Amino acid sequence: MAKVVTLGEIMLRLSTPGHQRFVQSNSFDIVYGGGEANVAVSLANYGHEAYFVSKLPKHEIGQSAVDALRKYGVHTNFIARGGDRVGIYYLETGASMRASKVIYDRADSAIALADVKDFDFDAIFKDADWFHWSGITPAISKNGAALTKAACIAAKKHGVKVSVDLNYRKKLWTPAEAQSVMRDLMQYVDVCIGNEEDAELTLGFKPKGVDVTKGHLDLDAYKAIFKEMAETFNFEMVATSLRESFSATHNGWSVLLFDGKEFHHSKRYEINPIIDRVGGGDSFSGGLIHGLLTRKPKEAVEFAAAASALKHTIQGDFNLVSEQEVEALAGGDASGRVQR
Amino acid sequence: MAKVVTLGEIMLRLSTPGHQRFVQSNSFDIVYGGGEANVAVSLANYGHEAYFVSKLPKHEIGQSAVDALRKYGVHTNFIARGGDRVGIYYLETGASMRASKVIYDRADSAIALADVKDFDFDAIFKDADWFHWSGITPAISKNGAALTKAACIAAKKHGVKVSVDLNYRKKLWTPAEAQSVMRDLMQYVDVCIGNEEDAELTLGFKPKGVDVTKGHLDLDAYKAIFKEMAETFNFEMVATSLRESFSATHNGWSVLLFDGKEFHHSKRYEINPIIDRVGGGDSFSGGLIHGLLTRKPKEAVEFAAAASALKHTIQGDFNLVSEQEVEALAGGDASGRVQR
Amino acid sequence: MAKVVTLGEIMLRLSTPGHQRFVQSNSFDIVYGGGEANVAVSLANYGHEAYFVSKLPKHEIGQSAVDALRKYGVHTNFIARGGDRVGIYYLETGASMRASKVIYDRADSAIALADVKDFDFDAIFKDADWFHWSGITPAISKNGAALTKAACIAAKKHGVKVSVDLNYRKKLWTPAEAQSVMRDLMQYVDVCIGNEEDAELTLGFKPKGVDVTKGHLDLDAYKAIFKEMAETFNFEMVATSLRESFSATHNGWSVLLFDGKEFHHSKRYEINPIIDRVGGGDSFSGGLIHGLLTRKPKEAVEFAAAASALKHTIQGDFNLVSEQEVEALAGGDASGRVQR
Amino acid sequence: MAKVVTLGEIMLRLSTPGHQRFVQSNSFDIVYGGGEANVAVSLANYGHEAYFVSKLPKHEIGQSAVDALRKYGVHTNFIARGGDRVGIYYLETGASMRASKVIYDRADSAIALADVKDFDFDAIFKDADWFHWSGITPAISKNGAALTKAACIAAKKHGVKVSVDLNYRKKLWTPAEAQSVMRDLMQYVDVCIGNEEDAELTLGFKPKGVDVTKGHLDLDAYKAIFKEMAETFNFEMVATSLRESFSATHNGWSVLLFDGKEFHHSKRYEINPIIDRVGGGDSFSGGLIHGLLTRKPKEAVEFAAAASALKHTIQGDFNLVSEQEVEALAGGDASGRVQR
Amino acid sequence: MAKVVTLGEIMLRLSTPGHQRFVQSNSFDIVYGGGEANVAVSLANYGHEAYFVSKLPKHEIGQSAVDALRKYGVHTNFIARGGDRVGIYYLETGASMRASKVIYDRADSAIALADVKDFDFDAIFKDADWFHWSGITPAISKNGAALTKAACIAAKKHGVKVSVDLNYRKKLWTPAEAQSVMRDLMQYVDVCIGNEEDAELTLGFKPKGVDVTKGHLDLDAYKAIFKEMAETFNFEMVATSLRESFSATHNGWSVLLFDGKEFHHSKRYEINPIIDRVGGGDSFSGGLIHGLLTRKPKEAVEFAAAASALKHTIQGDFNLVSEQEVEALAGGDASGRVQR
Amino acid sequence: MAKVVTLGEIMLRLSTPGHQRFVQSNSFDIVYGGGEANVAVSLANYGHEAYFVSKLPKHEIGQSAVDALRKYGVHTNFIARGGDRVGIYYLETGASMRASKVIYDRADSAIALADVKDFDFDAIFKDADWFHWSGITPAISKNGAALTKAACIAAKKHGVKVSVDLNYRKKLWTPAEAQSVMRDLMQYVDVCIGNEEDAELTLGFKPKGVDVTKGHLDLDAYKAIFKEMAETFNFEMVATSLRESFSATHNGWSVLLFDGKEFHHSKRYEINPIIDRVGGGDSFSGGLIHGLLTRKPKEAVEFAAAASALKHTIQGDFNLVSEQEVEALAGGDASGRVQR
């Protein structure tokens, strides 16, 4: 199995139970999660040595985030300890035509204020096989951007394959700010993951004929973009999930990969009901990395699609599925018959 | 914003958690609600000065009902305090082909035994813009009927617009009893809200060709009834929600308004899953009153439809949505994509 | 009303709340259940004198199983007390394409180690009208097989009608083992209940052209099998439920009975969402036995279908519905409108 | 074991979780209980054939009360079914110097409106050994008083021993009303249970020198009263529990019996913390009846004291302890060491 | 009743259920609270027109804080809306020798970044009777200090009585910083509330012979300090609560007031168990203000002591008790007998 | 920090919430624990490299036990995977004079059926500093005894210090069986931990004049026994906790160590209320091992006493405290003042 490193922020997620609205809830369910942490958990679940790199306060809320990762087998020894805050996001889970809502309270978290010196990137990337980061990490702060660049450089120095999930967050930066940072970082990237919005906002590409709020998919448009992206940024591969949003609890789901030569479009899943769609994209990244590490692109795509479809049925940010469960779904059994 | 008054009963709702049946539940979730209270909360949410008029015992259960209203900004200073009981309804939430069940235990509640002298209707309706009541209030007791009539007279004296939700409750009175009280009260009503059953049972109208248990809609039948009702009772407007019941968790939903001149039929919403349909009709009344107070009939209808569709996704009797959220849905975004 | 006896194991069911996965749950919901116990509860709910025969430890976990049965009116005076263990099954409830999972921990339960001498079958079957057992009881142990045979012989001696639910459990025995026991026991059976898999595995029949993982139904195939089974084993009647598995939360459902002369195929129900499908088959058996005890085959089939469709909307193993509720659904009202 | 009958009301108890105040609670824990029902459960737990006689509505809330009794083995076949309401009491559990609070909502419950004709007292008391009732039953309504008298007469006709728990409830009647009913009923009573307040209020006796709010005990005063009571009313025995209230969570507890000849004062228990003191008195009655049915007065008193001390450590109205557990405590082991 | 204004921060309190440690909890109970908000709720409970002045974000977490105040009748119309964060504190409730733990995450909250211009202090203090603030508000930021000064000046201009709770928070500022701000603000203060630590740290006074960690009380030392404080700062009155910490769940509690002439030491309460001691000091302030507004110093002290003792038995920051409940305890009934 | 190895069983603990009795509970709280696992968690919390050695099934219940250990930093790579069952114990938490109850269901667990070949003891003990086991492991089965012996031999071969907690379990073996196994194993033990009962039952020693059910302590008796034990078995040290059981929620607690030369009796703690006393002894072992690894016997004893006193305030088997928290208590601060 591979050594995989991810870098980013893990946040305290405070979600209302069931479908309660924020103003009516008297308790929050606690989960810890964040794009790159979610990917690390996926990879640990598939049997890899997954290392999550971040910074967390020494107090018990910081420790609880560490514990959440250790519980699922992610290595936490490269997490720097210090700072004051664990970033928070509040989540209200929608239903039917009522969308889920996220309120972020992540400014000045320990990782946003972390310094490159907090991390020994040579130790981190020694013998590593893969490094994954997302567009959120450079967006959280200048320090985050510096960390990401330092990590990318170190990864490349150690011959590590690098993937990015573009993941534009409008609350964190403007498209102009994003592009000024992200375009530069693309030089280190081998596998680029991003949906149509992210590609446009963080890299300046504009997908044609794709209206994401309508839930229609224009596969040809994607292909054109992907090919152009691969050429422009010298990406080895480009991939995205393709979400069709019918309602907060009913989506269509498939994934697309351009492997430099061919396009692979996975099976399409009808997800209804959705239990928790947060982390759906991360579960795709995790599934894709595992797929690309262990099988051919065509199979990797099916693995990634099935893994991320399954995520939508699981509470919390983490995709708590085994390789075997993903393979069973990718292999065709979506009948949901009780497994005794 | 407007000063709006509603008059009626607020009950303690005891519902089993999730989809548990009564006989298997070991706890009840507590919510306070009732037709006119629900309308008041809707209007407070949309920014109006909403006053709920009722009577509640001085003990802590009565106080909790007051607190539930205050929490969402409803004015409670005209609620008389005294009496022994807060009316109760028990709720079991169905799923699929299993219907939800309500058991009422509301006899002899403080408001059912209240006296006209408990209320200073001149103070209540001073500078008021709108008065809303429902067919439940006169049904709960003779006192309730007397209160309603006194309120209607006072409202009219102060030049307040009056709306009613006919809302027939077979456990409270017979059609004959209902008609003997309700037909008289119609003289004070400007805007009449009611579905086909209620119109027949409380006013003696019989809608033709509408079979509500089948879930089919015969719009033309509604239009005929509405026009006739407006003429007979001198209503300014007549409105109803149009529910298509496919199952306990899947409904179609739209609303219809006759504004005295034109018919406005809103967009139709597919609600699946329904989280809680109790209070759906009240959320329509609240949305319609807000709509009529702030926009043209056509827009009012779309606002009312979107508001009440959203209610079905929210736990409890109250429709905890903002004007902005309703407008977003009425404006067309039902994709349920996460709002970050 | 009839005296009905069922024999088998009642287990402690430990299920994760909501749709939580095993590895993320911090509590288990407690329910007691098991094929024959579930049938007994159904029959008690329909007004029969239902006796559940088993063995349970004297400690509080054993007592809790007894209490769970008594709560719903099942007679427990023939339950022997002794032994060490209550069998356990762990349940994780799936959603969408993620299947529910069951982990059994039932070896060496009190009933699996029980002796024929623990039971006074003459007292048990005195004046009894019906005896129901399932293929699970002889499968749990040699003692279980001996008990079942002794019970069947006693039942026949007392002129009691006997039904079986074939219910093959691959974790408990191999097809060869099952057939060596079950084929012999068929001589005592009047009414045989079983789906296509069970018939093949426990009796050596192979249904043709029925691919159950695809969710397609081949009614003609069933009919052929049923007729042949009735002839071979001298069954009075043969019945099965017909489940179409679209996903873990969406199934089609109908039932089929061969009454020795005619085939009766019930109405088909679309169940979406499924709240809890465990015990669905048992609720069919319970509904069918009640139906056959109280009405004609055609009506019995509709009763059984409606009863077992409703079960899928109810949490826990037991089908907590009344005869009146089943009749309302069988009579055609699946609109799910609130019952006030 | 004996056949024991109790007659009275079983209510739905709605209590806030933990130590929450009414106004801050969002759910109620559900328990069913009431003086005579609690006694019936105690006696079923000790192995007797306990019959609870009452009236309950046919709806699911009424059924749930029946189920709560059946669960613990109480016979419910003499419970008449009909009427509209299950009486309710709301409970807020205090701590330290904050007292627990009860709000009653029991008017017009099914049993309060029941008729003597609803019950076949000859069948009820056939072969019965003991009949227990309390001062609450005649207090709830005139019908309740009539029922109580009819039951007493029937019990005496069948040679059944009769005990009463005087249990004055100031919310239900005045001392004058109580005395006008209760003094007459004393002619049927063999064993009278009551604390100092109850004796005064329901029978017109005034205990001297006992100041119950101070938590001091004046045993001699009790003895004098008991002797006089026995003589005046021709009681065979008189008993009471002696509670020393230090705080809502810390009480002293012992019990006193005058057996017609001697006084028996039990061991004294220091109860700290109290988990739930509601039903403490009923658990004493239950323990005493069992004690008097199975052992000598001296041992009966110790059994009753230990049983009712234990009750204070158990959530809910029912005293869920076995005879063996009570004997262990009465025998001296209050060390609380883990029982493995 | 009086118009009372308090100024400060209301935070989202996230507490682990029961006595769970942070690292083992999977949910947080939600309460909103903060020194001055807690005082406002106390005063609203006692019947005053209480206004809480602060700033809160427009999003739903901010709205929930507003709702929490409105629920208990506090006026929120002077709360400015804007900013990004609601301050947070995490709470783990100890037991026995394990202390409760608080982790603050309150930097950059909306109120900490608020501007004097956000508030119309003339409108706020018009016709007001009392203004209360605490040493926390000036400590949270320079803006907080400026706000406090502006409010004090406006209060004095409107002839409003001013009280302060010194409340030193070492996480917010150093003693030197505190003294540089607080000594200046004392010129506006009429009633000073503070324990021995706070007096030393915020004002530079050093109490002699008081060792707070030992749980011993040296009343004479307090008196000397109070007299000197009153003279130095020209306070009309000085008061403090006197906590004896035996364990996290067992405290002694009394309060002391110097009214400019005499010392009043209240009754002493033994609080065991403590349910929640957070907000204990604030409940003393609230009780004292109400006491001084409505009765003589001696009675005010007893009211304040009983009110704040009761607070320790109530979950959450707010002291949810009525004037009548406080009077009952102050009047001597601490027996904890059930109130029916 | 040291490498510490413990060997034993980790069980699924199913406990009723709060103080509920088994028969009234509808859910179980899930915790994983067991003597040696608990010690491993303590040591990981204090910063050591703690390895827990056991065998667990591959299914999700087994995985959950692994996850529970990983969460708190215990190394799980030497846990063999296989077998069918995770051992279970049911726990009901008592209060006041009602004792807690444990029901074991641990027969045939994976570790009870494990083989010596499942473990590579040379790898396990390479560079290890300490090996801890308890009398439970050899008691669970013959395999368990063989494993323990093999582990002891390997530990000694690698020069690892060995400690045992005698921990007699009467449900697992008789004193004769215990002694036949345990006396032999004592040759490998350096530090022996055990209370008076365990010493007698597993090793055949009889403490004089110690009546443990009375809660009195006879320190001199312990000293005599300890000295004799050390001589007989060539123990380097002998230690025990000294529990005074006043009630299920109130204990006295201190610990005693004979270090081969001197006796060290720790401070005595009054624990009231006890939140959860299960694992109290294990937390003493964990604290003592850490103490002996890092400080002098006198300080080690105080550390162990404070650590294990704190455990009683923490829910679950694991002692979730840090070295710093233990030191603060050992250093004298038991005032329970809030730590902000």
Return the HEC string of B291-328.
HHHHCCHHHHHHHHHHHHHHHCCCCCCCCCCCHHHHHH
Query: How would DSSP label each residue in B189-202?
Result: -SEEE--HHHHHHH
Out of B19, B99, B246, name the one closest to residue C315 (CB).
B19
Tell which A residues from 303 to 322 touch C, by Cβ distance under 8 Å: 309-310, 312-316, 320
Marked catalytic residue, from B190, B198, B276, B282: B282
CATH topology of domain C3-328: UDP-N-acetylmuramoyl-L-alanine:D-glutamate ligase (3.40.1190)
With 0-12 / 13-18 / 19 or more C-beta atoms within 10 angstroms meaning exposed / middle / buried, residue A215 is middle
Tell which D residues from 38 to 77 touch C, by Cβ distance under 8 Å: 67-68, 70-73
Neighbours of F49 (CB within 10 A): 17
pLDDT score of A212: 47
CB contact under 8 A, C28 and F30: yes
Q: Rounded to whole angstroms, how far apart are CA atoms A305 and D133?
A: 68
CB contact under 8 A, A23 and B320: yes
In chain D, which residue's Cα lies nearest the Cα of C74?
Answer: D70
Side chain identity, residue D315 = Q
pLDDT score of D289: 98
Separation of CA F55 from chain center: 18
pLDDT score of E213: 47
Parts of chain C with a pLDDT under 50: 212-214
Q: Give the tens place of pLDDT for each residue, F54-110.
A: 999 999 999 999 999 999 999 999 999 999 999 999 999 999 999 999 999 999 999
List for chain D the helix, strand, coil content (%; round to 5).
Answer: 40, 25, 40
CB contact under 8 A, A96 and B336: yes
CB–CB of D91/D34 below 8 Å? no
Contacts of D21 in chain B (CB under 8 A): 60
CB–CB of C208/C228 below 8 Å? no
* Plot region of B279 (φ>0 → left; ψ -120 to 50 → alpha; else → beta): left
* Plot region of E135 (φ>0 → left; ψ -120 to 50 → alpha; else → beta): alpha
pLDDT score of E33: 98
CA dihedral (D16, D22, D26, D28) positive or negative: positive
CATH topology of domain A3-330: UDP-N-acetylmuramoyl-L-alanine:D-glutamate ligase (3.40.1190)
Q: Give the tens place of pLDDT for each residue, F18-62.
A: 999 999 999 999 999 999 999 999 999 999 999 999 999 999 999
Q: Rounded to whole angstroms, how far apart are CA atoms E164 and E178?
A: 14
Give the SS3 label for residue A53: strand
CA dihedral (E252, E254, E256, E262) positive or negative: negative
CB contact under 8 A, F61 and C25: no
Q: Rounded to whole angstroms, how far apart are CA atoms D29 and D22?
A: 12
CB contact under 8 A, E249 and F340: no
In chain B, which residue's Cα lies nearest the Cα of A171?
Answer: B340
CB contact under 8 A, A99 and B272: no
- CATH assignment, E3-238: 3.40.1190.20
Inform me whether the C-beta atom of residue E142 falls under 8 Å from chain F C-beta atoms: no
Cβ-Cβ contacts under 8 Å for B31 (sequence gap 6 or more): B13, B15, B68, B315, B316, B317, B318
Q: Which two tokens stand for residue A143?
A: 């320090």
Q: Which residues pair with B240 in a beta bridge?
A: B256
Q: Give the tens place of pLDDT for each residue, B51-78.
A: 999 999 999 999 999 999 999 999 999 9
Q: What are the CA-CA distances from residue B242 to residues B239, B245, B268, B280, B304 (Å)?
A: 10, 10, 9, 11, 12
Neighbouring C-alpha atoms within 13 Å toward the C-beta of B75: 14
Closest CA to B163 of B129, B139, B210, B209: B129
Separation of CA E143 from chain center: 20
CB contact under 8 A, A95 and B313: yes
Inform me whether the C-beta atom of residue C192 falls under 8 Å from chain F C-beta atoms: no
Contacts of A59 in chain F (CB under 8 A): none
Q: At what angle do helices F60-71 and F35-45 cross, to 10 degrees?
A: 30
Chosen for mutation from C96, C243, C277 (greatest number of chain A CBs closer than 10 Å) is: C96
Inform me whether the C-beta atom of residue C324 falls under 8 Å from chain B C-beta atoms: no
CB–CB of F164/F134 below 8 Å? yes
Q: Rounded to whole angstroms, how far apart are CA atoms B294 and B329?
A: 17
Inform me whether the C-beta atom of residue D273 falls under 8 Å from chain F C-beta atoms: yes
CB–CB of E158/E31 below 8 Å? no
CB contact under 8 A, E96 and F337: no
CB contact under 8 A, D61 and B25: no
Q: Which two tokens stand for residue C276?
A: 């809890």
Phi, psi of E160 (to 5 degrees): -90, 140
Side chain identity, residue B14 = L
How would you write the pLDDT of chain D (340 residues) with one tens digit per residue? 899 999 999 999 999 999 999 999 999 999 999 999 999 999 999 999 999 999 999 999 999 999 999 999 999 999 999 999 999 999 999 999 999 999 999 999 999 999 999 999 999 999 999 999 999 999 999 999 999 999 999 999 999 999 999 999 999 999 999 999 999 999 999 999 997 788 889 998 875 555 544 455 678 888 888 998 999 999 999 999 999 999 999 999 999 999 999 999 999 999 999 999 999 999 999 999 999 999 999 999 999 999 999 999 999 999 999 999 999 999 988 788 888 8
CB–CB of A63/F321 below 8 Å? no
* 10-residue mean pLDDT series, chain E (340 residues): 97 98 98 98 98 98 98 98 98 97 98 98 98 98 98 98 96 96 98 87 74 61 88 95 96 97 96 98 98 98 98 98 97 87
Neighbours of B256 (CB within 10 A): 21
With 0-12 / 13-18 / 19 or more C-beta atoms within 10 angstroms meaning exposed / middle / buried, residue D331 is exposed
pLDDT score of C175: 97
Closest CA to A61 of B208, E14, F181, F249: E14
Q: Which two tokens stand for residue F195?
A: 């209370």
The DSSP output letter for C2 is -
What length is written for chain E? 340
The pTM is what? Answer: 0.97
CB–CB of B191/B163 below 8 Å? yes
Q: C323 vs chain B: nearest CA distance in angstroms?
A: 14
Q: Give the tens place of pLDDT for each residue, E103-148.
A: 999 999 999 999 999 999 999 999 999 999 999 999 999 999 999 9
User: Touching A: which chains, 3+ CB pairs < 8 A?
Assistant: B, C, E, F
Inform me whether the C-beta atom of residue F252 falls under 8 Å from chain D C-beta atoms: no
Inform me whether the C-beta atom of residue D96 falls under 8 Å from chain E C-beta atoms: yes
What length is written for chain D? 340
Question: Which helix H or strand E contains F134, and what residues bound it?
Answer: strand F130-134
The catalytic site residues of F sit at 282
Out of B18, B96, B101, name the one closest to residue C312 (CB).
B96
Parts of chain A with a pLDDT under 70: 207-217
Q: F228 vs chain D: nearest CA distance in angstroms?
A: 28
CB contact under 8 A, F67 and C22: no
CB contact under 8 A, C335 and B247: yes
3-state secondary structure chain E: CCEEEEECCCEEEEECCCCCCHHHCCEEEEEEECHHHHHHHHHHHCCCEEEEECEECCCHHHHHHHHHHHHCCCECCCCEECCCCCCEEEEECCECCECCEEEEECCCCCCCCCCHHHCCHHHHHCCCCEEEEECHHHHHCHHHHHHHHHHHHHHHHCCCEEEEECCCCCCCCCHHHHHHHHHHHHHHCCEEECCHHHHHHHHCCCCCCCCHHHCCCCHHHHHHHHHHHHHHHCCCEEEEEEEEEEECCEEEEEEEEECCCCEEECCCEEECCCCCCCCHHHHHHHHHHHHHHHCCHHHHHHHHHHHHHHHCCCCCCCCCCCHHHHHHHHCCCCCCCCEC
Inform me whether the C-beta atom of residue B272 falls under 8 Å from chain A C-beta atoms: yes
Question: Which helix H or strand E contains F50, and what residues bound it?
Answer: strand F49-53
CATH topology of domain B3-329: UDP-N-acetylmuramoyl-L-alanine:D-glutamate ligase (3.40.1190)
Identify the CATH assignment for D3-325 out of 2.40.70.10, 3.40.190.10, 3.40.1190.20, 3.50.50.60.
3.40.1190.20
Inform me whether the C-beta atom of residue C186 falls under 8 Å from chain D C-beta atoms: no
pLDDT score of C200: 87
Q: Which two tokens stand for residue C187?
A: 């001589």
Peptide bond into A57 cis (omega under 30): no
pLDDT score of E58: 98
CB contact under 8 A, A334 and C249: no
pLDDT score of B212: 47
In chain F, which residue's Cα lies nearest the Cα of C63?
Answer: F23
Inform me whether the C-beta atom of residue C90 falls under 8 Å from chain F C-beta atoms: yes
CB–CB of F45/F37 below 8 Å? no
The catalytic site residues of E sit at 282
Q: Give the tens place of pLDDT for each residue, B298-314.
A: 999 999 999 999 999 99
User: Touching E: which chains, 3+ CB pairs < 8 A?
Assistant: A, B, D, F
Q: Which residues pair with F50 in a beta bridge?
A: F4
Phi, psi of E262 (to 5 degrees): -115, 160
Q: C273 vs chain B: nearest CA distance in angstroms?
A: 6
Q: Which residues pair with E105 in a beta bridge?
A: E88
Contacts of A266 in chain C (CB under 8 A): none
**Residue B205's pLDDT band (cuts 50, 70, 90):** confident
